[in-house]
Amino acid sequence: MLSTIDKSLNKLYKFSGYIAAIFLILVAVFILIGISSRIFGFYIRGLAEYSGYCMASASFFALAYTFVEGGHIRITLFLEKLSGSKRWLIEIWCLSLASFFSGYLAFYFIKMLIISYKFQERSEGADEILIWIPQTSVAIGSTIFFICVFHQFILNIKKR
């Protein structure tokens, strides 16, 4: 059963990476449309804001995939000097702190999303979009990242 959960979570992290790639493509498309619109003399409201929303979404959806693939800055330079149970204890300590802070981050992004939805806040940009719409992807991405870090924490405990 645990191997099934592990495989499913790894698929979720990979899917999250694909979503991040789609958002990065959207950033490029919005920037290119903005440049083209200036060349041809017309204006599309909110392109800069949509590009920013897509960049934030890409960043948060990419967190879990990047963490699993080892792309985040890690303390491996320090850990390489340790071995055995000392290394395991330091890894567990680091992953427990990372789990706590990523959980804290996810909790408050979800809380911010709920408040924005409740009060129907709008962006201050030219588009005046309901701000909970782009905040949803940030909250989902940070929640997937928390699940990822906690998953690695459990795997390291189980490894011992």
Region for residue 139 given its phi and psi (left: phi exceeds 0; alpha: psi -120 to 50; beta: otherwise): alpha
Mean pLDDT of 107-135: 92
Residue 38, judged by CB atoms within 10 A of its CB (0-12, 13-18, 19+), counts as exposed
DSSP β-bridge partners for residue 130: 122
Mean pLDDT of 77-99: 85
Which tens digit of pLDDT belongs to each residue from 13-69?
999 999 999 999 999 999 999 999 888 888 888 888 899 999 999 999 999 999 998
pTM of the model: 0.89
Contact, 40 vs 121, CB < 8 A? no
Q: How far apart are CA 35 and CA 56, in angstroms?
A: 21
Mean pLDDT of 65-74: 82
Please provide the average confidence, as pLDDT, over all residues in the chain: 90
Q: How far apart are CA 53 and CA 134, in angstroms?
A: 6
Instruction: Count the domains in the chain.
Output: 1
Residue 87, judged by CB atoms within 10 A of its CB (0-12, 13-18, 19+), counts as middle
Range of the domain at 119: 2-159
Q: Collapse the DSSP code of 57 into the 3-class scheme (helix H, G, I; strand E, B; otherwise coil) and give the result.
A: helix
Q: Taking the mean position of all CA atoms in its chain, how far away is CA 138? A: 7
Other residues' Cβ atoms within 10 Å of the Cβ of residue 128:
12
